[in-house]
Chains A and B, each alone.
Chain A
Amino acid sequence: AQSVTQLGSHVSVSEGALVLLRCNYSSSVPPYLFWYVQYPNQGLQLLLKYTTGATLVKGINGFEAEFKKSETSFHLTKPSAHMSDAAEYFCAVRGGGFKTIFGAGTRLFVKA
């Protein structure tokens, strides 16, 4: 069975600081991994994805994530936070069949 654990329901950083959002997964099949972002009162949109190939994946808005199979992790990072990054972030993994399993989400706060 597939599952996703996001460590920390809330993360607060100062503007310009490193953003690190943690995600661990379990999967009985080769994982397809995703990070989605949700701004207030909107649906989710894809930030980045890992399917196969290069383990360091770059996404939109300066975010990137590294797939580490040995650690079953897919942490999301951004070198320098911007106020506009304040949102909720969801890590997800391919589930059985056509489904996707989502983590509980991490809300990112950015302080001026």
Chain B
Amino acid sequence: DVKVTQSSRYLVKRTGEKVFLECVQDMDHENMFWYRQDPGLGLRLIYFSYDVKMKEKGDIPEGYSVSREKKERFSLILESASTNQTSMYLCASSPSPVQTVLSPYEQYFGPGTRLTVT
């Protein structure tokens, strides 16, 4: 089974702190994603990466950055946490179409990190 793990389930940080959220997948997937989930808004894409050291902005990248130094690990960084970044953060990975015929674009999610910024 594909496993996607996230470093923390719950996190409480203070305004202005630098926050690191880590995500690791064990299936050699090329693509990795960070979403935030807020009630009534569904999942909004923050950043994604389709290869090591490659990243692209999603729909709401402001206030966030990412790092992908190894294929299995994708980190989300809040440079200076603010209260409006209080949310559930979900990491996902997916194989590229060249990696699979059966399940292209299918995403595998971690359990999520509920971040509270006070």
Does the CB pair B45–A99 fall under 8 Å? yes
Per-residue A-contact encoding for B61-79, CB less than 8 Å = 1, 0 else: 0000000000000000000
Tell me if B25 counts as interface (CB < 8 A to partner A): no
Does the CB pair B43–A32 fall under 8 Å? no
Tell me if A49 counts as interface (CB < 8 A to partner B): yes
Does the CB pair A43–B48 fall under 8 Å? no
Does the CB pair B105–A100 fall under 8 Å? yes
Measured CB to CB, the closest approach of chain B to A19, in angstroms, equals 20
Does the CB pair B111–A99 fall under 8 Å? no
Does the CB pair A104–B40 fall under 8 Å? yes
Task: Give the bracket for the number of chain B residues in contact with chain A.
Answer: 20 to 34
Does the CB pair A98–B43 fall under 8 Å? no
Tell me if B90 counts as interface (CB < 8 A to partner A): yes
Per-residue B-contact encoding for A34-69, CB less than 8 Å = 1, 0 else: 101000011111100101000000000000000000
| A104-B90 in contact given A32-B105, A45-B109, A98-B96 (Cβ < 8 Å) | no
Choose one: B9, B33, B42, B106; the contact of A103 (CB below 8 Å).
B42
Cα A94 to Cα B109 with chains together (Å): 16
Query: Contact residues of A with B, CB < 8 Å?
Result: 9, 32, 34, 36, 41-46, 49, 51, 90, 92, 94, 97-100, 102-105
Query: Contact residues of B with A, CB < 8 Å?
Result: 4, 9, 31, 33, 35, 40-43, 45, 48, 50, 56, 58, 90, 92, 94, 96, 102-112, 114
